[in-house]
């Protein structure tokens, strides 16, 4: 089964939410996520989890890859959500890298089997997103 067929069969719609960086009066920078800049159907494939202990608390980090058909304007630190509602408890995926395989080397983007966007993500704790929205 091709990646395009997997996206069509098992894919979900993801909203791309881009951060806005602002500087407060005390000089601190804050990053807020408010509006979606795009939406696309993609397939999320978790790749694994890692666990560590931080200040006596166990932390779990889930990483994965999201595949999108076609070219998508997506940047590092963007978030992918299954809903564009702020404060939702659905998993939030933060982008840590993105590549368009059709742009690598001398391959033409017009070749349909390489015209996709592959995004590396890490799952963000939804509870933290709820706390950010409350601020």
Short-list 104, 109, 89, 95, CA closest to 42:
95
Q: State pTM to two decimals.
A: 0.74
Q: Which CATH class is domain 3-134?
A: mainly beta
What is the rounded distance in angstroms from the CA atom of residue 26 to the CA atom of residue 90? 33
Model confidence pLDDT, tens digit, residues 50-79: 766 667 766 677 889 999 988 888 999 999
CA angle 71, 72, 78 (to 5 degrees): 155
Model confidence pLDDT, tens digit, residues 38-48: 889 999 998 87
- Across the chain, mean pLDDT equals 78
Q: So where are the chain's domains?
A: 3-134
Model confidence pLDDT, tens digit, residues 18-30: 988 888 888 888 8
Model confidence pLDDT, tens digit, residues 65-116: 999 988 888 999 999 988 766 556 677 899 999 888 766 555 554 555 567 8
């Amino acid at each position: 089964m091709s990646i395009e067929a997997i996206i069509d069969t098992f894919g979900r719609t993801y909203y791309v939410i881009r951060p806005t960086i602002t500087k407060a009066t005390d000089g601190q920078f804050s990053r807020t996520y408010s509006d979606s800049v795009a939406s696309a159907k993609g397939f999320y494939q978790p790749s694994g989890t890692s666990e560590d202990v931080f200040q006596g608390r166990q932390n779990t980090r889930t990483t994965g890859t999201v595949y999108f058909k076609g070219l998508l304007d997506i940047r590092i630190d963007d978030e992918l959500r299954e809903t564009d509602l702020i404060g939702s408890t659905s998993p939030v995926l933060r982008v840590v890298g993105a590549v368009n395989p059709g742009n690598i080397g001398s391959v033409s983007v017009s070749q349909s089997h390489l015209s996709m966007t592959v995004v590396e993500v890490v799952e963000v704790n939804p509870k933290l997103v709820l706390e950010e929205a409350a601020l």
